[in-house]
């Protein structure tokens, strides 16, 4: 049993009395790992919402310590440090705070030189870095860290915003080695892999095989009607040319989970690890079908900003309603976190509620017109802009279909008893199909749900339960994994804990990095590049309105650059 599996073993504590044909399997989070004498030291580059989430998870759920931050915004940098590193009353120590990630590189090169020269009193360096900058900056930051060398890296998703940049990062990360010549640890911010819910779902499917061979999966990501406008109509991820397609920036999580369930091997051990079951074909359809000028209500007239719109009070997308009001997530509800803090990062520095509202309304009033330079429009978010008058172009609706052909393994790889699998002569590698649907107009906000169909049963999984119906017995079983935190169903805490625990095992307990990567991180570089490549393949299929042969596409677009990495 791998260390990752042991950490998330089901609790044996009794739960509520099950109803007829129903029992509950609870998956409790592991306790916070004990700290080593010299715990992993963590630098977080980027003190935005994701950087803060990983810092909180480091403190609450891991055996590491956050010791440094790099962030250009003065307010964010100071508040991050006070909350997570040096406290309110103490000044930051040497090497604890950097205005720019490049300043850290310069400092660390100098610090290492001081150590080599025998200087005494040099503070220790960091062991690992969480890269939480804007998506389009990932390539430059991660490559610089690999060139510095000797650091374990966790990069927020997506790895990069173009396929070529992903390939370049794969090469750089492969070359990121320690003094013993071992590849340093790497993790990607695909936090959905680490939620207790999805870890149990994967075990039920691939190890317990509760529905036998999987035939098809239909997975939906409901983004949320107002959430989509915040991030993908008004916010940072609204334009492909300044960010990337929404399938990458929003839904690479979901494509990765499908590949993890249907492509990756059930076991990550060297002894039992079978080759991936590779897809055969990919297709996709989708477009920007609602948030555009042709959908604008006639009564809104020429207004381009909510605060000057004649129908603002009745418009469900009113920025005033979303960010200031008292019914969704606005200031009126008492919320000063996401998404309010995204619009006004220093919102908490304003004293009274009225002061906060004035600051918010001032930000929402910002607008542009035909005289505003295009580069000015593109480089910032416009949270008060009419959702029908924006410069957004990413899909607000998309469907991706991935198919697999039969690809049986030799009997030695197949699971089952002494006589081999009973209901699965294909060894778990029969033909199957996955359909992914990203949709903006939903009441649910990122509360994903999935239907899975197998030869022996079916599963419905939502954000809190996993319900299994067994065709053979007629029984229905409901599992309710423990919700460790609100951060992606515990995925933020799970990823942080596993990555930092892997760093600790390498640093303090003599583990080889390969062992820690497989057993604790539970994701390989091959899987990272494969799931990202699948997104780019699907986008090509969408633009061309085609069905793409996956293996041929991989050979042409990725394989020639990377050589031995399987499709």
CB atoms within 10 A of CB 561: 13
- 155, 549 in Cβ contact below 8 A? no
Residue 265 confidence (pLDDT): 84
Q: What is the dihedral of CA 342, 343, 348, 353, to 10 degrees?
A: -140
Fold of 212-290+393-455+524-562: Dihydrodipicolinate Reductase; domain 2 (3.30.360)
- The predicted pLDDT at position 178 comes to 87
Distance between CA atoms of residues 46 and 77, nearest Å:
8
> What's the pLDDT score for residue 17?
35
Q: How many CB atoms lie within 10 A of CB 127?
A: 25
Return the CA Rg of the chain. 24
Going by C-alpha positions, the residue among 4, 3, 2 that lies closest to residue 494 is: 4
Cβ-based burial of 379 (10 A; exposed 0-12, middle 13-18, buried ≥19) = exposed
**Domain residue spans of the chain:** 3-191, 212-290+393-455+524-562, 299-378
Task: Answer whether 445's CB lies under 8 Å from 227's CB.
Answer: yes
Output the CA–CA distances (angstroms, integers) from residue 71 to 79, 135, 338, 433, 465, in the order listed. Answer: 11, 15, 18, 43, 38
Position of tokens 């499917």? 205
Question: Is the full-model pTM beyond 0.75?
Answer: yes
Cα 230–Cα 295–Cα 248 angle in degrees, nearest 5:
40
- Cα separation, 308 vs 321, in Å, equals 14
Please check whether residue 222 is in contact with residue 158, taking contact to mean a CB–CB distance below 8 angstroms. no
Reported CATH class of domain 3-191: alpha beta
- The per-residue pLDDT for 21 is 39
The tokens for 85 are 């590193």
How does pLDDT run along the chain (567 residues), one tens digit per residue?
A: 444 444 444 333 333 333 333 444 455 667 788 899 999 999 999 999 999 999 999 999 999 999 999 999 999 999 999 999 999 888 999 999 999 999 999 999 999 999 999 999 999 999 999 999 999 999 999 999 999 999 999 999 999 999 999 999 999 999 999 888 999 999 999 999 999 999 999 999 999 999 999 999 999 999 999 999 999 999 999 999 999 999 999 999 999 999 999 999 887 766 667 889 999 999 999 999 999 999 999 999 999 999 999 999 999 999 999 999 999 999 999 999 999 999 999 999 999 999 999 999 999 999 999 999 999 999 999 999 999 999 999 999 999 999 999 998 866 555 544 444 445 677 789 999 999 999 999 999 999 999 999 999 999 999 889 999 999 999 999 999 887 666 667 789 999 999 999 999 999 999 999 999 999 999 999 999 999 999 999 999 999 999 999 999 999 999 888 876 667
């Amino acid at each position: 049993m791998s260390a990752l599996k042991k950490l998330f073993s089901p609790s044996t504590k009794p739960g509520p009395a099950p109803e007829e044909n129903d029992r509950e399997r609870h998956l409790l989070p592991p306790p916070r790992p004990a700290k080593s004498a010299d715990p992993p030291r963590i630098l977080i580059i980027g003190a935005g919402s994701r950087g803060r989430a990983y810092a909180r998870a480091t403190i609450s759920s891991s055996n590491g310590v956050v010791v440094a931050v790099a962030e250009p915004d003065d307010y964010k940098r100071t508040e991050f440090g006070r909350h997570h590193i040096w406290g309110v009353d103490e000044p930051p120590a040497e090497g604890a705070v950097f205005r720019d990630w490049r300043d850290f590189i310069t400092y660390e090169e100098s610090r290492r030189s001081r150590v080599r020269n025998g200087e005494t009193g040099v503070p220790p360096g960091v062991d690992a870095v969480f890269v939480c900058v804007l998506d389009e900056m990932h390539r430059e930051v991660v490559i610089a860290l690999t060139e510095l060398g000797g650091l374990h890296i966790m990069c927020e998703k997506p790895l990069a915003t173009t396929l070529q940049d992903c390939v370049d990062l794969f090469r750089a990360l492969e070359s990121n080695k320690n003094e013993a010549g071992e590849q340093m640890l790497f993790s990607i911010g695909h936090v959905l892999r680490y939620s207790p819910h999805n870890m149990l779902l994967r075990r039920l499917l691939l190890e317990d095989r509760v529905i036998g061979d999987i035939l098809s999966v239909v997975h939906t990501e409901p983004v949320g009607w107002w959430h989509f406008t915040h991030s993908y109509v008004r916010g940072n991820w609204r334009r492909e040319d300044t960010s990337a397609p929404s399938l990458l920036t929003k839904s690479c999580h979901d494509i990765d989970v499908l590949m993890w369930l249907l492509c990756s091997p059930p076991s990550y051990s060297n002894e039992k690890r079978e080759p991936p079951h590779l897809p055969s074909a990919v297709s996709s359809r989708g477009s920007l079908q609602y948030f555009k000028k042709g959908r604008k209500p006639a009564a809104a007239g020429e207004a381009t900003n909510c605060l000057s719109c004649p129908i603002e009070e009745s418009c469900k997308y009113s920025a005033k309603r979303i960010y200031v009001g008292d019914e969704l997530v606005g200031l009126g509800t008492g919320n000063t976190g996401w998404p309010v803090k995204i619009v006004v990062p220093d919102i908490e520095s304003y004293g009274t509620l009225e002061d906060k509202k004035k600051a918010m309304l001032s930000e929402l009033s910002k607008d542009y017109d035909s005289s505003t330079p295009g580069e000015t429009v593109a480089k910032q978010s416009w949270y008060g802009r009419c959702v029908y008058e924006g410069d957004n172009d990413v899909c607000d609706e998309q469907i991706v279909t991935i198919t697999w052909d039969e690809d049986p393994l030799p009997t030695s790889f197949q699971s089952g008893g002494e006589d081999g699998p009973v209901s699965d002569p294909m060894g778990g590698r029969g033909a199957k199909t996955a359909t992914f649907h990203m949709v903006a107009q939903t009441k649910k906000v990122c509360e994903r749900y999935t239907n899975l169909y197998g030869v022996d049963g079916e599963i419905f999984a939502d954000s809190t339960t996993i319900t299994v119906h067994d065709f053979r017995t007629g029984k229905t079983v409901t599992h309710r994994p423990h919700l460790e935190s609100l951060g992606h169903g515990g995925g933020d805490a799970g990823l942080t804990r596993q990555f930092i625990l892997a760093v600790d095992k390498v640093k303090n307990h003599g583990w080889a990095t390969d062992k820690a990567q497989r057993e604790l991180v539970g994701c390989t570089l091959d899987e990272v590049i494969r799931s990202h490549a699948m997104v780019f393949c699907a986008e090509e299929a969408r633009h061309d309105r085609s069905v793409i042969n996956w293996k041929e596409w991989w050979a042409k677009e990725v394989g020639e650059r990377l050589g031995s990495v399987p499709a």
